[in-house]
A and B are shown apart, each in its own frame.
Chain A
């Protein structure tokens, strides 16, 4: 017995080390699931608050740049106003347009924390809007018209976004000129370049062409800017396009969150069809 106690007291540091190390690794691997809890502590209100303060401070240094971007956006929007257009016809229709129903709405949000250039598993963005601001998981996020990512987790006041720069991110995209479909994914460590795969070799793609979203996936409307083809590395059947992303992930500030008003309806219908097919088999 005395020997045992002697042994324990001799190796107590090693035993404590072993205990704490097992605990740490348990915490790490038990939480190793993107959607469940990996990022929940980062949308927790205290850490979110501290990051919010930090972002407030660093924002001052970038006010000039942000102003430039805003005035550019203003000018763009102003030029699209109705009074700027010359009316071709002299008779103006007075019919109310009932053939259009609003589908997508946009909410502004601010990025309070981000990390790019880290190992690819842990890139994320935190927004300063959460479930109180009507944000939900699965909503698309864009910045100045270019896609940024999708919301994966929300707390009351914060939301965490899986950006394009994450190994699990996928989006359905197309070659704007010809309309051929492919998939967008990111597997490098360069935060400016993403890959587009599965566009068929027969599509005439050239360097400098534009890649946009298709609107197939529920979170982005169609024809949102994705990026510009920078390099073409082909394999046997498909193009492999290296695309320079239009959103600059190293300096995101204000983003817009897209909510699809018909998301539930579409999902429900697709689910019904799937169930019907399953039962008939």
Chain B
């Protein structure tokens, strides 16, 4: 329990720093692609996390992210949406026998198809909310949609690569 808490906290802080100090610097194609990989930390929280706690964690993570990048409240809002949608997506994708309480949503445990759907849908929700909130207005709609899809795809790709790099299939569940 304590170990889970510690590891998740460290991972979230690490990802926020990675996002603001490294990933956000790598812009491409006139700003078309801008991945937000820090949400990986929220997606990795155990299935057994209570919903109220998940929402509070998302809020705090978003607020910390805002301190590094945009105006206050932008990522906070997008993360709260993510924290709300996450259990719903998990329920929709649940296997027939349900989730093991100690399980975590990792690629190795849940399989490639499950994980890609799970992370893909949530990344798309988060990025869509974020980008439309960021421009406030819907001008240049096509560019925005392309921006969202490309950024979400790169975020997803980075998260999947990250899973293969960090966890091997034999590693213990944390």
Interface residues, chain A, with chain B CB atoms under 8 Å away = 12-14, 16-17, 20-21, 23-29, 31-32, 37-39, 41-42, 44, 47, 50, 54, 115-119, 121-122, 189-190
One of B55, B67, B70, B77 near A16 (C-beta < 8 A)? B55
Q: How far is the CA of A28 from the CA of B131 in the complex (A)?
A: 14
Q: List 5 A-B contacts (CB under 8 A).
A: A25-B73, A26-B73, A37-B72, A115-B69, A190-B30
Inter-chain CA distance A117–B31, complex, in Å, is 5
Q: Which residues of B contact A31 (CB under 8 A)?
A: 71-73
Q: Which residues on A sit within 8 Å (CB–CB) of B74?
A: 28
Which A residues are in CB contact (< 8 Å) with B70?
Answer: 122
Task: List the A side residues contacting B81 at CB < 8 Å.
Answer: 21
Are A17 and B80 interface neighbours, CB within 8 A? yes
Name the B residues within 8 Å of A25 (CB-CB). 73, 77
B120 in the interface (beta carbon within 8 A): no
- B134 and A119 contacting across the interface, CB-CB below 8 Å: yes
Number of A-B residue pairs at CB separation under 8 A: 90
Is B67 within 8 A of A41, CB to CB? yes
A117 to B30, CA, bound (A): 6
Q: A25-B73, A121-B135 are in contact. Are A13 and B52 (CB under 8 A)?
A: yes
A116 cross-chain contacts in B, Cβ below 8 A = 27
**Interface assignment of B89: CB less than 8 Å from any CB of chain A:** no
B131 nearest CB neighbor, chain A only: A119
A32 interface neighbour in B17, B24, B71, B80, Cβ under 8 Å: B71
From residue 50 to 86 of chain B, which have CB atoms closer than 8 A to chain A?
51-52, 55-56, 58-59, 62, 66-74, 76-77, 80-81, 83-84
Distance in Å from the Cβ of A89 to the closest Cβ of chain B?
Answer: 56
CB closest residue in chain B, given A29: B73
Interface assignment of B34: CB less than 8 Å from any CB of chain A: yes
* Bound CA span A24–B81, Å: 10
Query: Cα distance A189–B140 when bound, in Å?
Result: 12
Known: A13-B84, A31-B72. Is A24-B52 also a contact (CB below 8 A)? no
Q: Could you tell me the distance between the alpha carbons of A116 and B59 in the complex, rounded to whole angstroms?
A: 26
A54 CA to B68 CA in the complex, in Å?
12
Top 6 A-B pairs, shortest CB-CB distance: A28-B73, A27-B73, A117-B31, A13-B51, A117-B27, A24-B77
Q: Which residues on A sit within 8 Å (CB–CB) of B66?
A: 41
Docked Cα-Cα span, A122 to B74, in Å, equals: 11
Q: CA A28 – CA B66 in complex, angstroms?
A: 10
What's the nearest-Cβ distance from chain A to residue B45, in Å? 14
Q: Is B105 an interface residue (CB 8 A)?
A: no
- Does B94 count as interface, using CB distance less than 8 angstroms? no
**In the complex, which residues of chain B have a beta carbon less than 8 angstroms from the beta carbon of A117?**
27, 30-31, 34
How many angstroms from the CA of A50 to the CA of B131 in the assembled complex?
Answer: 26
Whether B31 contacts A16 by the Cβ 8 Å rule is no
Nearest Cβ on chain A to B1's Cβ, whole angstroms: 22
Task: Please report the C-alpha to C-alpha distance between residue A173 and residue B134 in the assembled complex, in whole angstroms.
Answer: 31
Known: A116-B27, A121-B135, A121-B136; 8 extra A-B contacts, CB below 8 A, are A13-B51, A14-B84, A20-B59, A27-B72, A27-B73, A37-B72, A122-B70, A189-B31
| Contact yes or no, A47 B68, CB < 8 A | yes
Across the interface, do B73 and A17 meet the contact criterion of CB distance under 8 Å? no
Measured CB to CB, the nearest residue on chain B to A26 is: B73
Q: Contact at A21–B71, with CB atoms within 8 Å?
A: no
Instruction: Please state if B52 and A16 are interface contacts (CB–CB under 8 Å).
Output: yes
- Pick from B21, B59, B134, B135: contact of A24, CB under 8 Å: B59
User: Residue of A at shortest CB range from B17?
Assistant: A50
Docked complex: B84-134 residues within 8 A CB-CB of A:
84, 87, 131, 133-134
Kindly provide the distance from the CB of B94 to the nearest chain A CB, expressed in whole angstroms: 17
Q: Shortest Cβ distance from B132 into chain A, in angstroms? A: 10
Question: Which of A13, A115, A190 is the one whose CB lies under 8 Å from B55?
Answer: A13
**Distance (whole angstroms) from the CB of B145 to the closest CB of chain A:** 14
Determine if A189 and B77 form an interchain contact, defined as CB atoms under 8 angstroms apart.
no
List chain B residues, Cβ under 8 A from A17: 55, 80, 83-84
A39 to B58, CA, bound (A): 22
Contact between chains at B134 and A122 (CB < 8 Å)? yes
With a CB–CB cut-off of 8 A, which chain B residues contact A50?
17, 21, 68
